[in-house]
Amino acid sequence: TKRWFAIDKLQDKQEAIQAAAALLKAGEAVAFPTETVYGLGADATNELAVNKIFEAKGRPQDNPLIVHVATAQQLKELVSEIPPYVDKLLEAFTPGPLTFVLPSNGRCADNVTAGLDSVGVRIPDHPAALSLLKQAAVPVAAPSANLSGKPSPTSADHVWADLQGRIAGVLDGGATGVGVESTVLDCTQPIPIILRPGGIAIEQLEQVVGTVMVDPGLANEHERPRSPGMKYRHYSPDAPLWLVKGSADKLQQVVYKESQKGQRVGVMAASGTIARIEADLKKDLGASLESVATALYDALRMFNSQHVDLIICEAFSEEGIGQAVMNRLKKAASHYIE
Ligand code: TXA
Ligand code: MG
């Protein structure tokens, strides 16, 4: 295993969590692991502390942050209203990768919500995150701990590569599990609306609450997304990324054609496909959609460091967590070959 915590080079887990919690209470920005990706946290009730997040990331001020808490009771302390279906979802999926957008009661600083009258809150399913939140004893605003425009970090090394020198510390809990961010769910309406697909799939939500809608702004680029963050082209790797739907043979044809032009081509695909591909650089994303989600951002960063001219990626099924995977890939892609 890796060193557990990079904060002050402390090896002891409890001491490191205490050190990180003390920094949060003192108004500093600290990165920490969650089950999805690493977050860059700051005291959500402290406007100056929250500003440090925007500065460190280079994040646009109009993009609201998700607030992290340890319990459903703490979530309720930040909002003015809770529809009954939210209680069912809390019961079924928290702690877990589901963010509830609810009417804000104004307890969080104004820059957390970017002036909206709603606030996004979630309870992360990660022991170090929960322990940190309990010890900090404040709600913690935390976007993904990457520079704006880079893939979200799934390891402390990713955080360090982007934010070293810009933040007070990083709590190193090893690689995250889910790999894509939480599902953002608008719960201010009689029927919940998915604003960002993520770790909890629509099929799972529907099993608990019946009908769930999807923000039309997600599928249609002419419609303005209801979640401010979704209008940005996130997750862009340095090299252009082409998404290719179809068989391994079809992927190979595209790879071959572009390699002939003298380009260094990298390919990322699921195990079954990648085994049948020849290319300059290959990344096996694993056999299931879950493992593809886990490996996705690390793969994009790996191609950055290996200086490929072009990345070819297999297009996946949009079932289950595949919806979140394909949402991120479509945003990263410059071409979609169907
Ligand atoms: O898994 C995650 O959600 C990670 C970990 C660190 O918890 N966090 C994360 O945060 O992905 P961030 O800031 O990278 O993405 C937050 C998304 C943005 O698209 C933002 O616009 C949306 O949530 N959001 C936050 N508050 C909102 C609100 N009140 N109304 C609509 N969208 C909101
Ligand atoms: Mg982000």
> What pairs with residue 30 in β-bridges?
41, 169
Instruction: Give the confidence band of 319 by pLDDT, cuts at 50, 70, 90.
Output: very high
Does the predicted model carry a pTM greater than 0.80?
Answer: yes
Dihedral in degrees, nearest 10, Cα atoms 137, 138, 143, 147 = -80
Instruction: Give the confidence band of 338 by pLDDT, cuts at 50, 70, 90.
Output: confident
Contact predicate 123/96, CB 8 Å: yes
Where are any strands of DSSP class E within the chain? 30-32, 39-43, 66-68, 98-103, 118-122, 140-141, 169-170, 183-186, 193-196, 213-214, 241-244, 265-269, 281-284, 310-314, 335-337
Ligand nearest to the CA of 32: 1
Beta carbon of 195 within 6 Å of any ligand 1 atom? yes
Beta carbon of 36 within 6 Å of any ligand 1 atom? yes
Ligand 1: residue whose CA is nearest its atom 12: 143
Ligand 1: residue whose CA is nearest its atom 31: 227
How many angstroms is it from 28 CA to the middle of ligand 1? 20
Instruction: Give the confidence band of 2 by pLDDT, cuts at 50, 70, 90.
Output: very low
ipTM: 0.99
Q: Which of 78, 184, 185 best tests ligand 1's pocket when mutated (most atoms within 8 Å of CB)?
A: 184
* Residue given tokens 């252009």 in the structure block: 240
Beta carbon of 144 within 6 Å of any ligand 1 atom? yes
pLDDT tens digits along 52-87: 999 999 999 999 999 999 999 999 999 999 999 999
Contact predicate 277/323, CB 8 Å: no
Ligand 1: residue whose CA is nearest its atom 3: 182
d(CA 26, CA 159): 21
Ligand nearest to the CA of 181: 1
Q: What is the number of residues in the chain?
A: 338
Predicted pLDDT at 1: 34
Beta carbon of 118 within 6 Å of any ligand 1 atom? yes
Contact predicate 68/124, CB 8 Å: yes
How many angstroms is it from 227 CA to the middle of ligand 1? 8
pLDDT tens digits along 100-150: 999 999 999 999 999 999 999 999 999 999 999 999 999 999 999 999 989
Ligand nearest to the CA of 121: 1
